[in-house]
Structure 1
Amino acid sequence: MPAFEYRAQDANGRNCRGLQEADSARHARQLLRERGLRLSHLGAARKKRQGASHAQSGIRLGASELALLTRQLSTLIHAGLPLDEALHAVSAQSEKRRLSQLLAAVRSRVLEGHTLAAALSAFPKAFTELFRATVAAGERSGHLGHVLEQLADYSEARQASHQKIQLALVYPLILLVASLSIVGFLLGYVVPDVVKIFINSGQPLPVLTRAMIAISDGLRSHGGLLLMVLLAACGAVRWALRQPRLKLRWHVLLLNLPLAGGVVRAMEAARFASTLAILGKSAVPLVDALEIAATVISNLAIRRRMLDVARSVREGGTLARGLERSGDIPPMMLHLIASGERAGELDSMLARAAEQQEKTLAARIALVVSLLEPIMLVLMGGIVLLIVLAILLPILGLNQWVN
């Protein structure tokens, strides 16, 4: 079916643009009018240039976009719409052009005879392996709408968890930026003007004052160079973390840090359990679900151990025993998983374990943030105290010299 590019205004007067599939230009105009749009331009969609499919395959979707898309698809499929019509409806409702084009490309592959999971596999950066495997299981079982609804719940829960972490870190980051700005202003502008009086007096200055003057002069004279060195160091760190061996060493070191290590383990355990639960509920075989859930883990050290767990289960071992040997899953989660295996209710126990671990993770993040705030305040107060002492010590020395 040909596609037509359009520009129009909606009922609220807002400008919008997108793609509309129709049998002809006249049919396209009719469909757009039925949607309440006032057309300003309609033309045949330009033919895809060579490599356009590669550009589409590189499209990434945010957590909120993926959750909304999945929720809309599950609702339409539950309502009895065929898959191609549901994809077309979601594509037409989308206000973002790249998302509309992505769904149109998925729909065209479905119309060619591909399954939805196979169509999604052409866009690996937009739809993760977890997403594709769950959709494939839903298609095999004939309950695609129910599986998509579970995926939407999972995506929304993951987005809510990320938002909680981001909101918890907002205040410490603002405090850090404000502290650095205040210290930089004091060292760059206040200290030199105040201490200049004591330098002209000819009296010997305290060691702290001389050190503060040296730091201030260095910032004023070489501030641009220091900024360039800092940016270069950040770039070098980013490059190093892209190297698999160095990245693995960093992840191992991160797990051994006192506070951060516990938070990382709790975060990965919650992610692993919730992913395994959604795959199990979608009738994905346990070994395949373990391998997919391992790829969702971002820490390479834990990911390797979870892949070892998948191999041990494939060889006939139990899930609880394999997770216990890995040492990355908390004891309470291990007890729930073991009881779920014995009772034949592994999926529900995994979901319960993931929910419990999410609460534990939220408590640990709150503890870390509550410790960061006073530590940063004490450091900031100490630095300001040093600056004040560097200014006051010459004043006290001048008073003694005059007396």
Structure 2
Amino acid sequence: MAAFEYKALTKQGAQKKGVIEADSARHARSQLREQQLMPLDIQPVTTKEAKNHQGFSFFKQKVSVAELALITRQIATLVAAGIPIEESLKAVGQQCEKARLASLVMAVRSRVVEGYSLADSMAEFPHVFDDLYRAMVASGEKSGHLEVVLNRLADYTERRQQLKSKLTQAMIYPITLTLVAIGVISILLVAVVPEVVGQFEHMGQELPTATRILISASDFVQNYGVFLLGFVLIFAVLMQRLLQRPQLKMKYHRTLLKMPVVGKVTKGLNTARFARTLSILSASSVPLLEGMRIACDVLQNVRVREAVEEATARVREGTSLGAALGNTKLFPPMMLYMIASGEKSGQLEQMLERAADNQDNEFEANVNIALGVFEPMLVVSMAAVVLFIVLAILQPILALNNMISG
């Protein structure tokens, strides 16, 4: 059976949406008519998901990390209670508040009912269940400890959500401060400065340099402000398109790693993610080389990903994991020491988890330091601009007073 998402009309003329399992679209329409519903539109969930994934990124409906963690935890709880996987998926699908989540879970269930494994069923939706997720599910199915693996996956996704929330909360204040600073300065240049400084232009006296600069800046913003904003937007879109080219993206990511503060934060984020991913894969009995390959896919920086791929090749040739990662010159010494210690003691899984915890803590500390530096610099810069505007306005006033008193 397959899962179909439908739109239908009730006897009263109200529109109803939902998910139904049937052998074909024709069978689905027949079932809906038996329920006294008039079918309007019926689509296989897999087809609809593919169309949604191919759409423009701004309009895509995405499954959030929190939603994925929730359904993972629910499936793990039901499987641990001894309920068959297909029944667990059906129960979770019926409990989902969002129609898209429900249809997604029911589509996975329909594949399981047809005889596919859970991991293979999830492979129909790679934009929701990534390589890491499917590899862990597959290992859980093979080992017979699916509920343990699913709980570990839920912990991992919840940890990702917590980290993302912390970053979002940390960025709210500096972003708001930046927007307010730009808005205040723009209002001063467009509305306030022309009214005040314009009074001095017919004095017949030469205006101070600062005042002339301020008038020029005000005229530029008034005449070309809209064009400047359009240029910034076009430049941002153009840069996004250019960064899709592998060579330019590599150069950009190399540059990020070399920057004083941003480089440290970028390294911390990627190395922490690599260690965390590899630790949960190792704990799920995924082979080391396969785990490193999957961990590469979760890295955002292309340069770090390339370095880890080179390290994977060295491990395949017989080099230890610690030595291979050490050759990349990107991983911190403490992490390398803990990995090497775990390899020698046979506790690589535990040491990777501790290394990931340390990197997460260090990453949060680096972000706090970066924001701690940025915020006062922004305040000082804004204060300097406002001070310049005030002085540029006061100078001709003081000059006029001197003329009158003289």
Equivalent residues of 2:131, 2:294 under 8 A apart: yes
Tell me the equivalent position of 2:378. 376
Q: Per the alignment, do residues 381 and 360 of structure 1 end up closer, same or farther by CA in structure 2, a change over 3 Å counting? A: same
2:19 aligns to what? 19
Give aligned pairs, total: 385
Contact 1:4/1:42 (<8 A) preserved: no
Q: 1:35 is matched with which residue?
A: none
Q: Which of 161, 167, 170 in structure 2 is aligned with 1:168? A: 170
In structure 2, the CA distance between the partners of 1:44 and 1:78, relative to structure 1 (3 Å rule), is farther
How big is the shift at 1:219? 1.1
Matches of 1:130 and 1:343, distance apart in 2: 26
- Asked if 2 retains the 8 angstrom alpha-carbon contact of 1:209 and 1:391, the reply is yes
User: Which residue identity lines up with residue 240 of structure 1 in the other structure?
Assistant: L
For residues 344-363 of structure 1, the aligned pairs below 5 Å read 344-363=346-365
TM-score normalised by the chain length of structure 1: 0.90
- Deviation by residue 1:140-178 (Cα, 9 ceiling, x = unmatched): 111111100000000000110111111111110010000
**Could you say which residue in structure 2 is the equivalent of 1:103?**
105
Correspondence for 1:140: 142
Higher mean C-alpha deviation, range 315-324 or range 200-209: 200-209
**Distance across 1 between alignment mates of 2:16 and 2:236:** 40
CA distance in 2 between counterparts of 1:4 and 1:185 reads: 51
Alignment partner of 1:120 out of 119, 122, 141? 122
Residues 323-402 of structure 1: pairs in structure 2 closer than 5 A: 323-402=325-404
One-letter amino acid of the counterpart of residue 234, structure 2: A
**1:333, distance to aligned residue in structure 2 (A):** 0.8
- Describe the superposition over 1:216-262 as per-residue Cα deviations: whole angstroms up to 9, x where unpaired: 11111222211211111111111111111111110000000000000
State how far apart, in whole Å, the 2-side matches of 1:282 and 1:139 are.
10
Equivalent in the alignment of 2:58: none
Displacement after TM superposition at 1:197 (Å): 1.3
Contact 2:278 2:291 in 1 (8 A): yes
Structure 1 SS opposite 2:194: helix
Tell me which residue corresponds to 1:55. Answer: 51
| Structure 1 residue 22 displacement after superposition | 8.7
2:75 aligns with one of 62, 70, 73: 73
Shift of 1:99: 1.2
Quote the Cα distance in structure 2 between the aligned partners of 1:175 and 1:114: 52
Equivalent residue, structure 1, for 2:66: 64
Secondary structure of the residue aligned to 1:48 is strand
Equivalent residue, structure 2, for 1:239? 241
Kindly tell me: are residues 196 and 95 of structure 1, through their superposed partners in 2, closer, same or farther at Cα, counting changes over 3 Å?
same
The DSSP-based 3-state class of the residue aligned with 1:284 is coil
Distance across 2 between alignment mates of 1:56 and 1:169:
30
TM-score w.r.t. the length of structure 2 is 0.89
2:19 is paired with a residue whose SS is: strand
Cα distance between partner residues in 2 of 1:379 and 1:322: 45
Taking structure 1 as reference, are residues 237 and 56 closer, same or farther at Cα in structure 2, changes over 3 Å only?
closer
Q: How many Å separate the matches in 2 of 1:340 and 1:149? A: 24
CA gap 1:123/1:236 in 2 versus in 1, 3 angstroms: same
For the Cα contact (< 8 Å) 1:340–1:349, is it kept in 2? Answer: yes
Q: Which of these residues, 277, 282, 285, is aligned with residue 284 of structure 2?
A: 282
- RMSD between superposed Cα atoms in Å: 2.4
Matched residue, 1:90 = 92
**Pair 1:184-2:195 in alignment:** no
- List runs of 5+ in structure 1 lacking aligned partners: 9-14, 30-38
Q: Which amino acid aligns with 2:66?
A: S
Q: Which amino acid aligns with 2:18?
A: G
Unaligned runs of 5+ in 2: 10-14, 55-60
Is the Cα contact below 8 Å between 1:4 and 1:44 reproduced in 2?
A: no
| 1:155–1:53 CA distance, 2 compared to 1 (3 A) | closer
Moved segments of 4+, more than 4 Å: 1-8, 20-25, 41-46, 56-59
The higher-RCO structure (CA 8 Å, 6+ apart) is: 1
Secondary structure of the corresponding residue to residue 18 of structure 2: strand
Counterpart-to-counterpart distance in 1, 2:255 and 2:362: 22
CA deviation map 1:297-320 (0-9, x unaligned): 000000000011111111111000
Partner SS state of residue 207, structure 2:
coil
**1:252–1:216 distance in 2 versus 1, CA, 3 Å:** same
- SS in structure 2 of the partner of residue 201 of structure 1: coil
Q: In the TM superposition, what is the alpha-carbon distance from 1:4 to its structure 2 partner? A: 8.1
Which one is further off, 275-284 or 227-236? Answer: 227-236
Residue 279 of structure 1: how far off its partner (Å) = 0.3
The DSSP-based 3-state class of the residue aligned with 2:339 is: helix
In 2, are the aligned partners of 1:6 and 1:20 still within 8 Å (CA)? no
SS of aligned partner of 1:119: helix
Q: 1:56–1:336: structure 2 CA closer, same or farther, 3 Å change rule?
A: same
- In structure 2, C-alpha distance between the alignment counterparts of 1:45 and 1:136, rounded to whole Å: 38
Provide the secondary structure at the position in 2 that maps to 1:113.
coil
Whether contact under 8 Å (1:73, 1:87) holds in the other structure is yes
Structure 1 residue 46 displacement after superposition: 4.2
